[in-house]
Structure 1
């Protein structure tokens, strides 16, 4: 390499040249995913997981779609593709898991979000989380959340003694918006859980703001994936091959350094302790002067007529505009004329909404809410108080990637990550 070019790279893009750090022990992991639902980035992340599964002891693949129509059938379809590519992967590395084993640990979790109380009935997926957590092992079980927390919340409710056995790395953001009830249940009842709540940093993985990166998510498919086996052919089906993989940072975190230290620099981000999770309660529709941080649990506790329906039944909706459509968030009857709804805004904006119900005299009007871009925002006396092992996106303004809080703790590693993955795609082309 020309000396000037090498010096330029060292000075202006050092992170792409730093090697991956060793992991102390191959981790036990369980994936909870909404694959096959509304956001196809989980399929991209599943391809990444299958191509790197030699680095993990995978104990479970649970379909947990809090929103959308995902099922474990989509996980099994991806395993079928992996099976066809496996001979080429095994030619380069030992330790890849058998397709039969992966199918045996694939389980169906809850379909749809939890009711207001945050849990419902046990599922095959939640029971499997409990079974894996209770295995005799010197290692914790790392649960990597790519979707809602419904099955994790259900497992904790049914077997609270597993709390000390778990480590959770959760991609929040939109998943928190769709699964507000299960998140609130965990934060309120299990504040001592070891939990990394990633609400924004993960966006840094698929941003393309660093013009010095030679590896871009927009042309990565054409350069490295096209013609690479069955998984490569399938990859084109999601975002036309553009790399998003918003859940992959959870895997990267487990691949680079000691996962017991969230504050370290790692491919999967760097995080700081969170002593409280913002939670604001309103007793009526809000006004534009009401302000919360993004990813705050906004709880509406409203008074209305006493009606004869089962407690925790959906009986009204909060409607918010989204692009050219309307999103609807369920509200519940809590009994004795009380109504409740939890809503989580995922980004800085002014939210306009309208409450609607088909039940006569259940009308809570409409409102606006101002959402700011700094998590966790101002202190509220209703915030969830968290324990010593709850972590989240770093708040340092210098680490913002544009509007993305903590985004630079991930974006600076993207070129290293994608270059490493490109080598594995190359194995499938031979």
Structure 2
């Protein structure tokens, strides 16, 4: 029988406590979600600032739908590129101090497009090199593994290891160093300024995937390049998404005039995909402009500090993160699932993240905080974590 491995693979996933399943959510209010008729405080959303449920952004969607309709109708190179897309790209390019910006339907598509276009099989790039942080997102890993360049990894945030790899690299190669700005599972930040210095020393390009930093970090919420005042020369390739702190969907790549023109002409994920709806682009720009007011970002930082303080008092071990992503390592998949289920019984939704999403032995609860959370919500989370952890054997 064809594809017999499917049954075996699914059985193994269940036996190893790594089974994945979906939950259908009903509309909630603020940080509350409803699942199967029960209500939970949601600590698993990437909507860090609450823009996904913002009336301002919702009205921008309505306005965009009224003006542009519900879809785009074609790829950007046919008839799918509208004034709304152009305005969003132009605003981002000016704010980020980049030559140009190009919109994508997802961060996954953008990361793949970068790898596959810069290291296309017909470019004779067998001697070229992609060097990525060990914990970079799966979308970039898949993109890097699907092209002709040699793909290497450096230890997480270990610039000494990166320097060792660079010292052995051919000076004539095209080299792309890649990292996340804020790491999606650990919540820590990359030493982007130091990485930029290493890249320039070796005539390489640095690419930053700032999916979890964009919207949250920096004086205007423009992410790690604003936070560290990094120029286009220092970070030639910047990718970020709108589906986290911005509260809509899609992604962008920012860089030089030549890079964007190259992606328009050779980025298959851009050329052959239907464009994001213009209404989405319109709502995204509205959200980015609303985020220029620092109120939500300041409130998020207050909630992060409160959670870390209360968790420390409760002897709940946290990782070294100052961002909205606050992982609680529990060590194995079965215990992570058990704690997550106990939290649900206490009205808390905090998803268990297991191998292969994270390395073996680092299974965890990935707690994410939002500006929507109230002070009492954070207190309830810490109390519930203390109970659930203490009642779950190691």
The answer to whether the superposition gives a TM-score over 0.5 is no
Query: Relative contact order: is structure 1 or structure 2 higher (C-alpha 8 Å, sep ≥ 6)?
Result: 2
TM-score (norm 2): 0.31
Greater share of helix residues, 1 or 2? 2
TM-score (norm 1): 0.29
